[in-house]
Chains A and B, each alone.
Chain A
Amino acid sequence: MTGSPILRAEDLVKVYPIRGTGQELRAAAGVSFTLDRGETLGIVGESGCGKSKTGRLLVRLEEPTSGRIELAGEDVTRVRGRALRAVHRRIQLVFQDPFASLNPRLTVAQTLEEVLRVYQLAGDKAGRRRRVQELLGMVGLRTGFAERYPHQMSGGQCQRVGIARALAVEPQVVVLDEPVSALDVSVQSEVMNLLTRLRDELELSYVFISHDLGMVRHISDRIVVMYLGRIVELGPWRAVSDEPLHPYTRALQEAVPLADPDLEAGREIEPLRGEVPDPANPPSGCVFHPRCPLAEDVCRTEDPALLELLPGHQAACHVAAREFARAGRPA
């Protein structure tokens, strides 16, 4: 993790007009972070927080309304055509639903060969065949899988094909959008282990997007927590997941049941009140204030900035910031 970041998001904003109302929906409202080479950045949050949207902006499936995306120092925010194709050779997306993201009429080999053909990789037909076998080997599928159709495979096997397809172009960065959420528990662990192994072997950098704090904690070097299109906390994996600074992260962490009855027995958990507000009509000030157990007057009027409260650990919270300013440590 040395040198300049492989990926940089700067103040990414994605706004959708809501037809007939004059209102607008801010799916991403100023998202900034960097991804170092070889690093895994986890993005965690609940539905509607903008985590998947951020992933789609990063791989330029959609263009941000404003802000800047840099891939290895190069501005790729608005590239089109051939330049965009060149971007997609370096950054790839793996989708949540392994069945829906594969063409049901194509065999595994056809799916992978198509990618190789489009990007003019692996030479001629024979070369593409060899490369398909190599890709299957990388994701731990026997060569016989080349001739299978998606319906002839389990969810875990389909997701391996989805990963192989992303790796076919030899990307530097892979954005993984809920890659194990649709899988059975006994299959999740094998895909997680595969992702970890591939990252280390191929020196990949990951953006790992999930609603599952346990999985994010397991694979990430740093974790971003999003709420209503904003980053509310960003820091080292252990600090964010075990000693969070933001009251939303704390509520999220407490709400996640741990698969350990002894740990669970000692937890008195007060559920977070209310629900995520309508993103088309976000609350004033800090967007979390209507649900926050610590909310004060200032939270209702002023949007808190994302401040570095500990080395490499940022949070957007008036109360946390004040505690740090006063004591140098959280209360």
Chain B
Amino acid sequence: MTAVLSVRGLTTVLHLADGPVEVVKSVSFDIGAGETVALVGESGSGKSMTMLSVMGLHPQPTAEIVGGEVLLDDVDLVGADERYRRSVRGSSMAMVYQDPMTSLNPLMRIGAQIEEVLTAHGTSRRAAQARVLEVLAEVGIPQPARAARAFPHEFSGGMRQRVVIAMAIALRPALLIADEPTTALDVTIQQQIIALVRRLQAETGTAVMWITHDLGVVARVASRLLVMYAGRLVETGSTRAVFARPEHPYTAGLIAAIPPARVAERAPLRQIPGAPPDAAHAPSGCPFHPRCPEVVPRCREEMPPLTQRPGSAAACWVPPSQWSVPADAERGQAS
């Protein structure tokens, strides 16, 4: 499988009053053509900052990429000049945010906004106007010609997210980065957006990176997942394998914290003590160690490497066979 995007050792710091803080720590992953990969993490895990760094949209100068490579079609974007980065943004990869109003100008008609994306990348005005109507229809917006003349506030949240997706796919990017695109939407509208992204993917072969905190969404959309905690990838693998046999205690805890579907007997949920740390106060060694039921002395000292196994990887000193709380432990063994 050819990788559309290849991220190697990406490290991003935030320059805060007390000095620089690493919020993305040596993150490496690939996304294959047409693949759907989920980047999972809780608040403060660094998942959004990772993808903003990939896009080169991290808030500079507060945030700065201090190491690593972002290879898009084998060209390193970290080393590239801003003009090149600008030329690939929107055309080769595009981003959809949680709040559609982040991406939409409230004072501009929708058609003009999408047209601007196209003309900025060299499409003629006439061709752009035609493409606007086409792409609005593609994302399922009724009466595209009328919609193009409307302002963002005239649409519901779900329809606005469709507009943002239309803008993102207008130039047929090879990679679509969706940052919690359905978190602000009702679940029936979320399902419409998931179905839409799936259909567009099938039609165009776009790869999708889905950033989410919702393991249900992961199970529904992604063939592979990356789990992030305190700025680091702690587990990666195929969605089915990771859900069936998580190899990091954090992943195992997250999965078991969710009420299981369709069970007849309800038991207490698995708890992970404490709260996710923010990057500035990440613990030493493995950042999960203060919350981990499997902690051994080494965890406090040394960050375990992300050990590659066939099809998966996990950063933990303690192999699952030695866990005190097995991943498939019966619910109710709250730690």
Contact A255 B191 (CB under 8 A): yes
Task: Give chain A residues whose Cβ lies under 8 Å from the Cβ of B334.
Answer: 193
Contact A255 B156 (CB under 8 A): no
Contact B240 A193 (CB under 8 A): no
A155-B259 contact in complex given A184-B42, A185-B215, A271-B191, C-beta closer than 8 Å: no
| Binary CB contact string for chain A from 273 to 300 against chain B (1 if under 8 A, 0 otherwise) | 0011000000000000000000000000
How many chain B residues touch the partner (CB < 8 A)?
48
Is there a chain B Cβ closer than 8 Å to A218's Cβ?
Answer: yes
Contact A184 B214 (CB under 8 A): no
A257-B214 contact in complex given A193-B268, A242-B262, A252-B187, C-beta closer than 8 Å: yes
Q: How many A-B residue pairs have CB under 8 A?
A: 126
| Binary CB contact string for chain A from 177 to 202 against chain B (1 if under 8 A, 0 otherwise) | 00000001111111011001000000
| Binary CB contact string for chain B from 19 to 33 against chain A (1 if under 8 A, 0 otherwise) | 000000000000000
Measured CB to CB, the closest approach of chain B to A260, in angstroms, equals 6
Is there a chain A Cβ closer than 8 Å to B103's Cβ?
Answer: no
Stretch at the interface among A7-15, A71-79, A209-217: A209-217
Contact B264 A186 (CB under 8 A): no
Is there a chain B Cβ closer than 8 Å to A61's Cβ?
Answer: no
| Binary CB contact string for chain B from 217 to 244 against chain A (1 if under 8 A, 0 otherwise) | 1111100000000000000000110011
* Alpha-carbon separation in the docked complex, A154 to B42 (Å): 13
Contact B189 A275 (CB under 8 A): yes
* Alpha-carbon separation in the docked complex, A260 to B328 (Å): 13
Is there a chain B Cβ closer than 8 Å to A70's Cβ?
Answer: no
Is there a chain A Cβ closer than 8 Å to B73's Cβ?
Answer: no
A260-B219 contact in complex given A185-B213, A193-B268, C-beta closer than 8 Å: yes
A218-B259 contact in complex given A193-B334, A272-B191, C-beta closer than 8 Å: yes
Contact A275 B156 (CB under 8 A): yes
Q: Which residue of A lies closest to B221 (CB)?
A: A257
| Binary CB contact string for chain B from 235 to 273 against chain A (1 if under 8 A, 0 otherwise) | 000011001100000000111011111101010111111
Task: Give chain B residues whose Cβ lies under 8 Å from the Cβ of A213.
Answer: 187
* Alpha-carbon separation in the docked complex, A256 to B187 (Å): 6
Measured CB to CB, the closest approach of chain A to B113, in angstroms, equals 22
Task: Give chain B residues whose Cβ lies under 8 Å from the Cβ of A262.
Answer: 240, 243-244
Measured CB to CB, the closest approach of chain B to A141, in angstroms, equals 13
Contact B269 A193 (CB under 8 A): yes
A selection of 11 A-B contacts at a CB cut-off of 8 Å is A187-B275, A214-B216, A217-B259, A218-B266, A218-B269, A242-B262, A251-B188, A255-B188, A256-B187, A260-B261, A263-B261
By Cβ-Cβ distance, the 3 closest A-B pairs, closest first, are A257-B216, A218-B259, A189-B269
Other A-B contacts than A193-B268, A215-B259, 6 sampled, CB-CB below 8 A, are: A214-B259, A242-B262, A257-B216, A259-B258, A262-B243, A272-B191
